[in-house]
Structure 1
Amino acid sequence: MELTFLEICLSGLLFFCFLAQLYFTLFVHLRLARTPIEEIVPAGARPLSVIICARNEIENLKQYLPVVLAQNYPDFEVVVVNDRSWDGTHEFLEEYAGQCKKLKVVTVTEGTKFIAGKKFAVTMGIKAAAHDWLVFTDADCYPNSSNWLLGMQQPPEDHKEIILGYSPYLKRGGLLNALIRFETFFTAVNYLSFALKGMPYMGVGRNMAYKKSLFFRNKGFAAHMHIPSGDDDLFVNAHANRRNTAIRIHPDTHVWTSPKLSWGAYLRQKKRHFGAGKLYKGKHKFVLSFQIIIQFLFYMALISACFSKTLLYPAVGLFVLSILIRCFVYPKLLRRLSYPGLVWFFPFLDILLFIFLVFNGILSIFVKKVQWK
């Protein structure tokens, strides 16, 4: 049976999108699956500072700050920035600091000189840090191991100025939690894989590290202080490169984070991230946009092909082949990145994530106001 011109165009688009997906799966993400996991160095070579910004996080600080302070590292301090809290955080931190010499408290108060957003709090913490190597996390996070800082410490090569870590979300019940964990997994696979390929484009403030000297040499967040988000990914996007960036995926270096518990809170979080992405370098925006567009066109072409008697079976066959190839790569990565329970739901979550990303992109066009907390 001969194909019509429209069917030829449709089949060509479907096959092109399939090949593009194949490239990202086999030539980008598979590299992360095959990369040997570096062993944790058993000793700390240089002192470091941990930076935590907190706003009304007293319960999380009570639960997780002791875990950070109990790290198996010979010389470190923890700088907690209390950013205008009114829930008793100030009193708790002041009392705790009197009992623990490793804890340093910085307090940000309301005032005419206050600059809105988390970036001001982060900057205050960096200024207060005593050491050049800075490790970042959040108040609602806790390390997977007491060897976290050993894994995130400054590499012996002085030209390495940035380390990108990984921060999975805790398992809770329900579809929302499964989607949050899968989206976090796929985001991590992408930025860690591209970093391995020599094109680092983002990191997460829940688990990353860089030099204080790098921060001030590049005038901190001056280039994007006008937006509340991006203290982590925009800084990495602007200053990370093939030579100065490394990644850490050893299980001991994972930092667990409490997930959002409502769809509204999660959508607001993704809106902040979406706003920061608009300021990425042009080549990074192109690659990331291309990934989403290709996936969108693949599903649209697949659905359209299902209405053609000639293309129905080839299209379904190509879709099944795509799933099989992806199932060869991503389940291994799910296990490597602490999400083995999601392996059996991978095909379903993959489609659901695509739908969510399209919806969130459309929503971000109409919802403009964001804040860090």
Structure 2
Amino acid sequence: MIWILLFVFVSYGMIILGFAIKIKHAGTFDNHTRAHRNRFTVIVPFRNESKNLPRLLASLATIDYPTSNWELILVNDDSTDNSLEVIDQCLRSYQISNVIIINNLRATASPKKDALQTAINKGTHNWIVTTDADCYVPTQWLATLDAAIQQEQPLMVIMPVAIATTAQPTLLTAYEQLDFLSLMGATAGSFYFGLPFLCNGANLAYDKDAFVKVQGFANNDHIASGDDHFLLEKFQETFKNKISYLRSPDAIVTTQPQELWSAFIAQRTRWAAKSSAYTFWFSKLMGLLVVSVNLMSGLGLIYLAFAKAETQSLIIIALLLKIIADGILIATEAQFHKKLNYLKWYPIVMICYPFLSTYIALKSLTSSYQWKGRYYTK
């Protein structure tokens, strides 16, 4: 049994270290393109986001890209707060003119996918760019994306996302930062490995004609989340060599941290709930490996107090493999995102992570969850 544990941990460690090595060798994107050629439809679904929309719209107002080459579609997903009034005030204050506000046309069990599909049908440009209402974007966001498309000719572009920093870090904010850096590392590393299996709809772009060719969100619109992941799987199957990863500081979209542990767990449960419907073999493998390693890590930490000396040594070796591999990948991303200061939290987060991660994985398989005031069941 111990040797099986070691095999699993060695396999996991090799893959995670492979991600980190590939990221280091890849470097960052060099934007040497000056002419703006592509046209973008930026889509932002929102539901009760009056608190966050001013920040997003303020950032979009500073976009350094010709307004004739991009449009913004805001999709109201049945908001019950004063989001529309806030949007109206912001548009007048920031003098943003290339904006369309529409209502979500519900057709499936996934409000987010419906909102995106509604906007895609309404959009006039051939490149779709998605972000979320609780995000803000950098000034050179679209210019950098345009350059990457010109240089690499992809049909989908995966881009990095960061969690906003807080003035006084807590265990929750540190845990979320390191957890998200790990996800971003796996996102970038798996792409450079030739097996992209993660992306984030808060910063994703794809060709509209290609979206139509892969039938968009069809066949997975019964799942509440996963508008990004399942679309990536479809592009991976149909346009395998036409997916790019845009690793540039000028392409990082920043999202807001969760303020409560309950909100964080609900968010992660929603993300994990779609995993049983993955079709890409590497997605399934990584999902199984991550759950297995975290479950074994938690049990191993508990069992250390009771095991014999020889068994304790093997457990410690296995745990060290995970700690070192994860630490290197997280440190690689922390350097890119300029968040090295969060690494001091790594020891305590490392102890908590196996237990919380396993709890969320089990919860996603057995429980319903609430998000944006809506309840979703398995």
- Cα pair 1:331 1:346 within 8 Å, conserved: no
Task: Find the counterpart in structure 2 of residue 286 from structure 1.
Answer: 285
Distance in 1 between residues matched to 2:316 and 2:228, nearest whole Å: 41
Aligned to 1:13: 4
Distance 1:359 1:227, change over 3 A: same
SS in 1 for 2:128: strand
Contact 2:46 2:77 in 1 (8 A): yes
Paired position in structure 1 for 2:117: 123
Residues 55, 36 of structure 1: CA spacing in aligned structure 2 closer, same or farther, 3 A cutoff? same
TM-aligned CA distance change 1:13 to 1:71, over 3 Å: same
Scaled by the length of structure 2, the TM-score of the pair is 0.85
Task: Tell me the distance in 2 between the aligned counterparts of 1:322 and 1:231.
Answer: 30
Residue among 131, 134, 139 paired with 2:128: 134
- Amino acid in structure 1 at the alignment position of 2:75: V
The structure 2 residue matched to 1:33, chosen from 24, 29, 43, is: 24
Find 1:146's aligned residue among 118, 139, 152: 139
Contact map agreement 1:170 1:257 (CA 8 A) in 2? yes
For residues 271-310 of structure 1, the C-alpha deviation after alignment (integer angstroms, 9 at most, x for no partner) is 2111222211151212321233134335545754662123
**In the alignment, is the contact (CA less than 8 A) between 2:10 and 2:318 conserved in 1?**
no
Whole-angstrom CA distance in 2 between matches of 1:289 and 1:147? 38
After superposition, the Cα gap between the structure-2 partners of 1:151 and 1:353, relative to the gap in structure 1 and judged at 3 Å, is farther
Equivalent AA in structure 1 for residue 179 of structure 2:
E
| Counterparts of residues 27-176 of structure 1 (less than 5 Å) | 27-43=18-34, 44-74=36-66, 75-94=69-88, 99-108=95-104, 117-143=111-137, 145-153=138-146, 155-156=149-150, 160-172=154-166, 173-176=169-172
Query: Quick check: which has more Rg, 1 or 2?
Result: 1
Number of residue pairs the alignment of both structures matches: 361
For the residues of structure 2 that align with 1:326 and 1:304, how far apart are their CA atoms? 22
Q: Report the aligned-residue RMSD.
A: 2.7
TM (normalized to structure 1)?
A: 0.87
Structure 1 runs of 4+ with >6 Å offset: none
Separation in structure 2 between the aligned mates of residue 41 and residue 148 of structure 1, nearest angstrom: 14
Q: Where do residues 260-299 of structure 1 align in structure 2 (5 Å cutoff)?
A: 260-283=258-281, 284-297=283-296
Could you tell me which amino acid in structure 2 is paired with residue 189 of structure 1? G
Identity among equivalent positions (%) equals: 21
Give the secondary-structure state (helix, strand or coil) at the position aligned to 2:130: strand
CA contact (8 A) 2:19 2:329 kept: no
Q: In structure 2, what is the equivalent of residue 351 of structure 1?
A: 351
1:320–1:56 distance in 2 versus 1, CA, 3 Å? closer
Distance 1:369 1:300 in 2: 26
User: What residue in structure 2 maps to residue 3 of structure 1?
Assistant: none
Q: Which moved more, 1:314-323 or 1:40-49?
A: 314-323
How far did 1:155 drift? 1.0
Structure 1 residues 304, 130: closer, same or farther in 2, change over 3 A?
A: same
* 5+ long unaligned stretches in structure 1: 1-8
**CA distance 1:209–1:92, change in 2 (3 Å):** same
Indicate how the Cα distance of structure 1 residues 114 and 287 shifts in structure 2: closer, same or farther if over 3 A, else same: closer
Q: 1: distance between equivalents of 2:328 and 2:91?
A: 49
Report what 1:191 is aligned to.
187
